[in-house]
Amino acid sequence: MSTFEFPLLCTLLLLSPLYSNAAAPLVSKANNKSNALVNKACSGGTDKPACINYLKSNPKLMAAAATSKPLEFALAILQSAVDQAKNTHAYLSKPKGKLSPQAIQAYNDCKTNWDYVASGLERSLKIIKEEKGYATDTTDYDLKMNLNSGRDCATLLLEAKIQDPVVAKGLENAELAVGAADTILEGVKPPKKLD
């Protein structure tokens, strides 16, 4: 090492903690705001640890939380519910191998049910996006009712003595997402319409 490189290396080593500490408060402040929004979303009566895990495991949701804009965060969560419903529907559309006639019927009915869940959630997302929140009296009710077809599917599978962890996880994730979005949207005041 030359005489010039050694002092330069020492200077860099001495100054590097100053730069990393200067950036830490900015990162920490953003993380605190994201965590606060995630905690708020998961405070509405759902399984809080599962809800927090669901939200934090999705980078798109954490990016939306980092904006500290509740409506944007809620819309991102609802989009994740739509995506989950579409993924579950796609899974149900694939052949399942040799099954009993009752199981075949249950899976066919579930495929239809999850199509309803996906299209209903998409419709609710569109309305909430246009209204910038819950502007009408039934928007929140309609959002939650979209999950009924997924629950009906779970009942059909249970009656056919089928335990399908993919479908069960799909319903759990969709319920977590809708519950979290609903909790956030309850605090979002849409703009007043001019009559």
Average pLDDT of every residue of the chain: 86
Residue 37 structural domain: 30-185
Does the pLDDT at position 33 exceed 80? no
Residue 107 in any domain: the answer is yes
**Per-residue pLDDT tens over the stretch 53-64:** 999 999 999 999
- Domain with 108 in it: what CATH number? 1.20.140.40
| pLDDT above 50 (res 10) | no
Cα dihedral 171, 174, 179, 181, rounded to 10, equals 180
Count of structural domains within the chain: 1
Q: Is the pLDDT of residue 115 over 50?
A: yes
Q: Is residue 168 part of a domain?
A: yes
Mean pLDDT on 9-25: 44
pLDDT of residue 179: 95
Residue 7 lies in a domain: no
Alpha-carbon distance of 57 to 133, in angstroms, equals 25
**Does residue 154 lie in a domain region?**
yes
Asked if residue 43 is part of any domain, the answer here is yes
Decide if pLDDT at 13 tops 50. Answer: no
Structure tokens at 4: 């010039």
On the 0-12 / 13-18 / 19+ scale of CB atoms within 10 A, 47 is: middle
What is the reported pLDDT for 35?
A: 87
User: Which of the two residues, 47 and 3, has the higher pLDDT score?
Assistant: 47
Q: Is residue 171 part of a domain?
A: yes
Treating both helix axes as pointing N-terminal to C-terminal, what angle do 148-159 and 101-131 enclose, rounded to 10 degrees? 170
Confirm whether 127 is domain-assigned.
yes
What is the reported pLDDT for 111? 97
> Within 10 Å of residue 24's Cβ, how many Cβ atoms?
10
151: left (phi over 0), alpha (psi -120 to 50) or beta: alpha
Structural domain includes residue 149: yes
Average pLDDT over residues 175-181: 96
